[in-house]
Amino acid sequence: MKYPHHLKLLIESLKKLPGVGSRTAERFAFEMLAWSADDLKKISRLLGELKNAVRFCPACGCLIEETDCQFCQEQRLKEKKVCVVSSFKSVLAIDSTGLFKGAYHVLNHLLSPLRGQGPDTLGIERLLERIETLQFQEVVLAFDSTLEGDATALYLKRELESTGVKVLRLATGIPMGSSLDLIDQATLSKALMGRSQV
């Protein structure tokens, strides 16, 4: 089917979103055609300002809007604990349990050789520097329960051995192959309370 040029470009752009195929992108595009001009301008403005309005904290890697990061506040750093995750969505999932009061550290991603994401792309130098500078005593590795998550946890355990910090991993109870941001709070709470040394 031949779509008007602008509609075709919108469909192609929407297909870049995770889990959005051709049919879903078409449905979204046609839905947006029914929106008012004001709604379209609003979403266009929000998308255009997104990169400038939302940034990554240079210290922990969490998303911030202001100059100060809510996850780098002094009371969190005083806990001398840091939870290492692969995405900001995991920070929100863990923090919503209210059980972890320490700092967070977001890696660039998990190890995935098939995607060309090796140890040199993880950005662990920043983590090692923070552990030394802030004198963290406990590191909690909170990754998805997948092959990539396990590989990243094992790699980081080896890298952190020389620092003398206690390295823990979330307890079992999180189903294999699941993402942290999709786990219910009760399961995530039990996993945090039962974390064990790697």
Largest Cα span, the chain:
63
Q: What's the pLDDT score for residue 172? A: 63
17's tokens: 């979103």
Residue whose token pair is 């999932």:
93
Q: Which domains does the chain have, with CATH numbers?
A: 5-53 (1.10.8.420), 67-197 (3.40.1360.10)
> pLDDT tens, 162-183?
888 999 988 766 777 778 888 8
- What is the average per-residue pLDDT within 100-127? 85
Q: What's the pLDDT score for residue 3? A: 85
pLDDT higher than threshold 90 for residue 109: no
**Exposed, middle or buried: residue 32 (CB in 10 Å: 0-12, 13-18, 19+)?**
middle
Banded pLDDT at 48 (limits 50, 70, 90) = very high
90's tokens: 């995991």
pLDDT higher than threshold 80 for residue 190: no
Banded pLDDT at 1 (limits 50, 70, 90) = low
Q: How many CB atoms lie within 10 A of CB 126?
A: 17
Banded pLDDT at 123 (limits 50, 70, 90) = confident
Find the DSSP H helices in the chain: 5-14, 22-33, 37-53, 74-77, 88-95, 124-134, 147-160, 185-193
pTM: 0.76
The residue length of the chain stands at 198
Residue whose token pair is 């919503």:
96
Measured CA to CA, the distance from residue 185 to residue 188 in angstroms comes to: 5
